[in-house]
Amino acid sequence: MAGSSVSVDLSQAMITAPVALGDWLVVAPSLITILGGALCLMLRKNTDLQPKLGIGFLALLVVANLALLIRVLDQGVITMVMGSWLPPFGIAFTVDSLGVTLSLIGSIVAFCGGVFGAATVDSTGRRYGFYPFLLLLMTGVCGAFLTGDIFNLYVWFEVLLISSYGLLVLGNDRIQLDGAVKYGVLNLIGTNLFLIATGMLYGIFGTLNMADLAMKVAALENPASGTLATVAALYFLAFAMKAAAFPVNFWLPASYHTPNVVVSAVFAGLLTKVGVYALIRIFVLILPASRGYMADVIALVAIATLLTGAIGALAQSEVRRLLGYVVIAGIGSMLAGVAVGSTLAVSGAIFYAVHSIIVMTALYFAAGIMNMMGGSYDLRQLGGLYQKSAAFAAVFLVLGFAVSGLPPFSGFWPKVILVDAAFADGRAWLGAAILFSGFLTTLAMGRVWIFAFWRGGPEGTADGETVAVTGETGTQLSGAAVWLPLGILTALVVYFGLQPEWMLELSTQGASGIVEPLGYLRSVFGGQG
Amino acid sequence: MRTIIFRTIAPYLSALMVLFSIFVLLRGHNEPGGGFIGGLIAASALAIFGIACGVASVRRAIVFHPMGVSGFGLFLSALAGLPSIFKAQAFMTSQWLDVHLFGVEIALSTPLFFDIGVYLVVVGAIGSIALALEEREVD
């Protein structure tokens, strides 16, 4: 499928033309965050300045990503090669609508995280580097979304993982170290598999440039050869681990409830989605034939992930652990898109990734606010939050509807697309699993809402009665720093639900850009096709 | 470890190692060496000085906190990729400037500054780990 009929003139790639100033936007997201992270690291003793610097650089990152998106929509796929060393020898950053869309949404979420962190991360956390870690995490995330080279992708994964280890242990609680060990070991294994597969790929093709690989794989006479199948299986396992797919999902609920809630929020929004992105990029763009014969396996994993996530969410009473399982259920939906693999399905997966980044971060923020109001993360202790703030109860209901895939919010459209694509592909079971998982998620979110908001007080409160809730309201809750990020993200959830055309078009463009990667290949190697 | 011989030698040894690390850093462009290995040598100089004379005196000697040093290194390395923007070339394209100073030709280049940045990142990161470990030992 990928690029089989493309003839690209390699000699054209040897011309060094001047680089337009606008093309520098390709490296701007990584560069802004790396400079900002370094600056925050130097000034980390100044805890008052940290949030201002950090939020400033994150705002700059959003602007840069927005400019990059506009340029990509205007000019098509953009490539910049580092140090003018031309691909396939040099490292190329190749930005298409898929990468830049996720990068933009990711940076908005990180900005909200930075603002929320200004209220919830104390001065000790700031001194130990919350903002430098957050900025360097974004260096890795944006780099992974924008790079056009598999080894470089590996490097960005390392950058974001190292920063995430730092964020995870910020605060030094015993439980955090426990969570960090589980998270660290599993991710280390995943990263090693990724590296081994990359080494094998280089051994076969002698290149790691994604566009070059896509062409060479398409030109193979026997794309189902044993070695390539091994590489595909290793990549699938590695990225499934990063994405927390069944059966390698257990690290996520074991670690995401341990750190500061803003860290959980950013992780839940971004990290698993980078794994899904890498899966889409490698299986749809580079190894379409392998994806073809692995489709049944991927579909099974997707169904298992959808059900594990939703059932796990029903079984939990700790809000953050519950949300961790909801993240996993979402991963199942995105994997379903990869399993089907048509342009429609991949566009559904991309839209779902965008939706999931926004809504999961917002839900973790909401969990943090619930803790501030009710003094606990446990559904048995929480209660009566509706009396405290009816508006917050409404916001939580909106987010709960969105994450379950109910209209008219952002989760509805990608689920419609995914179910539609699954049925069109003759995988009725996959479509049914998505719907059933959505139903169970509705129950789980409804349970949270009924217990934490509707019930008059903690467990045991009789119907119709209200008990005064003892939470540490006041000091922390008063600031806009808590409500603004939640407001921005909820507004996006409602906007993408009511006005989905823009994001539908963007994700369709992103999907067709990797299913039929002519523009991608030409951007790297030039040529008229 | 704190014998009188060691304590007498350590400052000279550390000074020599730092000097050697800078030599390794500068010859690194065309010959074996470079920022990473140079940084390791300098970090081990800090570690030796710390074992002999105590962590507090190392911290006084390097003035800035090691993490600040590595932050500055990261900043410098990232900046070193930028000058090519003025020549309409891609990010990190190397720029060279030959300076004749007292009859000696000195090649100033962006890779040199990138390498100095790497050197500082390694000194800062490894140095801060080494100092933290040595501090624990004293407790």
Q: Which of residues 95-134 of A touch B (CB under 8 A)?
A: 129, 132
Q: What is the mean pLDDT of residues A285-296?
A: 89
Q: Tell me which residue range forms the domain holding B8.
A: 4-138
Q: Which residue of A has its CA nearest to B93?
A: A83
Is A1 domain-assigned? no
CB contact under 8 A, B94 and A24: no
| Mean of per-residue pLDDT scores for chain A | 88
Q: How far apart are CA A487 and CA A272, in angstroms?
A: 23
Name residues whose C-beta falls within 8 Å of residue B8's C-beta, 6 or more positions apart in sequence: none
Q: How far apart are CA A166 and CA A162, in angstroms?
A: 6
Paired with A318 in beta bridges are: A378
Q: Which of residues 213-242 of A touch B (CB under 8 A)?
A: none
Is A146 domain-assigned? yes
Is A8 domain-assigned? no
* Contacting residues of A for B83, CB less than 8 Å apart: none
Give the model confidence (pLDDT) of A433-462 as tens digits. Answer: 999 999 999 999 999 999 998 887 787 777
Q: How far is CA A293 from CA A224, A228, A265, A288, in A?
A: 8, 12, 36, 9
Query: For residues A371 and A261, is the Cβ–Cβ distance under 8 A?
Result: yes
Residue B3: per-residue pLDDT: 85
Please determine, for residue A303, whether its predicted confidence score (pLDDT) is greater than 60.
Answer: yes
Q: At what angle do helices A28-42 and B66-80 cross, to 10 degrees?
A: 150
CB contact under 8 A, A18 and B88: yes
Q: What is the mean pLDDT of residues A64-68?
A: 95
Give the model confidence (pLDDT) of B104-122 as tens digits. Answer: 887 888 889 999 999 999 9
Among residues A113, A115, A422, the alpha carbon closest in space to that of A268 is found at A113
CB contact under 8 A, B78 and A35: yes
Query: For residues A157 and A151, is the Cβ–Cβ distance under 8 A?
Result: no
Q: Which of B70, B72, B92, B115 is the best residue to mutate to test the A interface, defined by the most A CB atoms within 10 Å of its own CB?
A: B92
Is A239 domain-assigned? yes
Q: Which residue of B has its CA nearest to A83?
A: B93
Measured from the Cβ of residue A41, the count of other Cβ atoms closer than 10 Å reads: 25
pLDDT confidence of A22, banded at 50, 70, 90? confident
Please determine, for residue A1, whether its predicted confidence score (pLDDT) is greater than 50.
Answer: no
The tally of domains found in chain B comes to: 1
Which of A14-18, A116-120, A176-180, A428-432 is the least confident region? Answer: A14-18
Q: Which residue of B has its CA nearest to A79?
A: B90
Residue B17: per-residue pLDDT: 96
Give SS3 for A474.
coil
Is A207 domain-assigned? yes
Give the model confidence (pLDDT) of A141-158 as tens digits. Answer: 999 999 999 999 999 999
A189 backbone dihedrals φ, ψ, rounded to 5°: -60, -45
Residue A19: per-residue pLDDT: 77
Q: What is the mean pLDDT of residues A336-356?
A: 94
Residue A75, CB-side half-sphere exposure with 13 Å CA sphere: 18
Q: How far apart are CA A115 and CA A112, in angstroms?
A: 5
Give the model confidence (pLDDT) of A221-234 as tens digits. Answer: 877 778 888 999 99
Q: How far apart are CA B8 and CA A61, in angstroms?
A: 52
Give SS3 for A336.
helix
Give the model confidence (pLDDT) of B10-29 as tens digits. Answer: 999 999 999 999 999 998 87
Residue A466's identity, in one-letter code, is: T
Name residues whose C-beta falls within 8 Å of residue A259's C-beta, 6 or more positions apart in sequence: A167, A168, A169, A170, A171, A176, A179, A267
Question: Which candidate from B68, B88, B94 shows the least CB-CB separation from A19?
Answer: B88
Query: For residues A149 and A83, is the Cβ–Cβ distance under 8 A?
Result: no
Q: How far apart are CA A15 and CA A84, in angstroms?
A: 10
Is A518 domain-assigned? yes
> Which run of H or of E encompasses A74?
helix A49-75
**Smallest Cα distance from A93 to chain B, Å:** 10
The tally of domains found in chain A comes to: 1
CB of A15 less than 8 A from some CB of B: no
Q: Tell me which residue range forms the domain holding A469.
A: 17-524
Q: Which residue of B has its CA nearest to A42?
A: B68
**Smallest Cα distance from A441 to chain B, Å:** 44
Is A6 domain-assigned? no
- Exposed, middle or buried, B28 (CB in 10 Å: 0-12/13-18/19+)? buried
Q: How far apart are CA A69 and CA A77, in angstroms?
A: 10
Residue A195, CB-side half-sphere exposure with 13 Å CA sphere: 10
CB contact under 8 A, B75 and A35: yes
Q: Which of B91, B118, B120, B129 is the best residue to mutate to test the A interface, defined by the most A CB atoms within 10 Å of its own CB?
A: B91
